[in-house]
Amino acid sequence: MTTTKPIAKTPQTRVERYVTNLSDPVRRAECQGLLEMFARVTDLPAAIWGTSKVGYGRYKYELEGGFKSEFMMTGFEPGKRWLTVYLSPDYEDFAEVLARVGKHERHKSCIRIKALKDVDLGALEELVKLGLASTAHNYQTSEL
């Protein structure tokens, strides 16, 4: 009698489970694409920040008045209305690349995109690379 061993299923990480469980199929597909892009660009492990942000790396910062904290070096957050891409605090310095990204809104250290189909993914990837390099140059960073 021949016995069959069950095929081992590769366990999903917390981040992969989070993205797989997004209810909107379009947003889920966009985020799966972003997971691939961020993995390729950052070479850092993904982690969940808070309840809904997918982040890569971390950096320490201090605000006026002495408040100290940490935040992800880069990442994204899938919202119902917006897909938020977190960049470096000085991302406004990358005006030429921002102009090529396409439809987006600028905020403090992030941009908001309604749909990935509305942006130039090559320019977005370049923007993430520039942000990572800038953050690594200007702040104390770590992988996790």
Tokens representing 97 are 């690349």
CB-hemisphere CA count at 13 Å for 66?
0
DSSP bridge partners of 48: 54
* pLDDT for 2 beyond 60: no
Provide the 3-class DSSP secondary structure of residue 130. helix
Per-residue confidence (pLDDT) for residue 62, from 0 to 100: 87
Q: What is the C-alpha to C-alpha distance for residues 137 and 89, in angstroms, rounded to an integer?
A: 12
Is 111:104 a contact under the CB 8 Å cutoff? yes
DSSP character for 7?
P
Provide the 3-class DSSP secondary structure of residue 19. helix
Per-residue confidence (pLDDT) for residue 111, from 0 to 100: 95
Per-residue confidence (pLDDT) for residue 133, from 0 to 100: 93
Q: What is the pLDDT of residues 52-105, one digit of tens each?
A: 999 999 999 888 898 999 999 999 999 999 999 999 888 778 999 999 999 999
Question: Which class does domain 14-142 fall in?
Answer: alpha beta
Sheet-wide strand order for 58-62: 68-71, 58-62, 140-142
Where along the chain do its domains lie? 14-142
Q: What is the mean pLDDT of residues 25-39?
A: 96
H-only helix segments in 3-57: 14-20, 25-42
Q: What is the pLDDT of residues 111-132, one digit of tens each?
A: 999 999 999 999 999 999 999 9
Query: In the chain, what percentage of residues exceed pLDDT 90?
Result: 75
